[in-house]
Amino acid sequence: PTIYAVTPTYPRPAQKAELTRLSHLFMLLPHLHWIIVEDTNATTSLVRNLLDRAGLEKRSTLLNIKTPSEFKLKGKDPNWIKPRGVEQRNLALAWLRSHVDDDRHSIVFFMDDDNSYSTELFAEMSKIGRGRVGVWPVGLVGGLMVERPLLTEDGTKVTGFNAAWRPERPFPIDMAAFAISMDLFIRNPQATFSYEVQRGYQESEILRHLTTRDQLQPLANKCTDVLVWHTRTEKTKLAAEEALLKKGQRSDGGMEV
Ligand code: UGA
Ligand code: MN
């Protein structure tokens, strides 16, 4: 099957480093199609150049939609924090629903730009059957070394999850913990991401439209292999750059960093 990897991304100092890592992973994986959705008012030359240089122009789709300012993280909202990537993932879903041929089996994976992914994860994803959602462990997330599905003794069904953070969620797993057979999105047109959910409920929000716990397909060696890590990049410190800018100078004049 073709795997469609959906990546929301936004401008910040480390963006090119993050996307370069991902683009080199795609160079190793010929069956992937990369849908990048920039959180900007127009596509940027930084991302266009990156796709060109990796030779991915034929198997990538570059879209853009800016998160409305009222939904960007701000101030003190008592009960819930604004989720990230909502607008961008929904635009990708609309693109997929209108461009993907429903007769051909394909898989959708929501691939954030800052995590660390093994090529082996994508081999596992291609085992996902029609009408199924595949699940696997994710390292370094939710306050644990690994969050993982708990399985029946024969390893064929999910009985629960080991999550420590909000374990009462319908699907207490990270975005990187699952991928979805495209036919489920065609059959369930109401399945979209939403701003109107509590913090950490984005994964449950999409999955509740598509599947149930006991229909999940466990992968990655009966959910014992860790093939993706929820790494987060440290915020870049630019005090010296700001000092230069005040003097009308910069370290990156004429360069794309
Ligand atoms: C966790 C999950 O891993 C995300 O999939 C989920 O969207 C997020 O929580 C959430 O609660 O909304 P976390 O590492 O906290 O992830 O989120 P980020 O990596 O900062 O953002 C997720 C994706 O959205 C990234 O690909 C990022 O580039 C993108 N993003 C983030 C935007 O497109 N615009 C933004 O303003 C912020
Ligand atoms: Mn992240």
- Confidence (pLDDT) at 77: 56
Whether 153 sits among the annotated catalytic residues: the reply is no
Which ligand is closest to the CA of 36, given by its number?
A: 1
- Confidence (pLDDT) at 79: 47
Name the residue with the closest Cα to ligand 1, atom 34. 10
- Known binder of ligand: residue 252? no
d(CA 71, CA 48): 26
Length of the chain as a residue count: 257
Q: How far is the CA of 142 from the centre of ligand 2 (A)?
A: 12
CATH architecture under which domain 2-246 falls = Alpha-Beta Complex (3.90)
User: Of 41, 43, 73, 112, which is best to mutate to test ligand 1, by the most ligand atoms within 8 angstroms of its C-beta?
Assistant: 112
Positions of the chain with pLDDT lower than 50, given as ranges? 78-79
Atom of ligand 1 nearest to the CA of 84: 12
Catalytic pick among 203, 205, 234, 256:
203
Interface pTM (ipTM) of the complex? 0.98
Q: What element of type H or E holds 243?
A: helix 239-246
pLDDT digits (tens, 9 = 90+) for 213-228: 999 999 999 999 999 9
d(CA 72, CA 66): 10
- Confidence (pLDDT) at 14: 98
User: Of 47, 71, 84, 231, which is best to mutate to test ligand 1, by the most ligand atoms within 8 angstroms of its C-beta?
Assistant: 84
For the chain, counts of helices (H) and of strands (E): 8, 13
Q: How far is the CA of 117 from the centre of ligand 2 (A)?
A: 12
Cβ atoms of residues 18 and 233 within 8 Å = yes
d(CA 114, CA 19): 8
- Confidence (pLDDT) at 24: 98
Q: Does 175 contact ligand 1 (Cβ within 6 A)?
A: yes
pLDDT digits (tens, 9 = 90+) for 9-28: 999 999 999 999 999 999 99
- Confidence (pLDDT) at 78: 45
Considering the entire predicted model, what is its pTM? 0.96
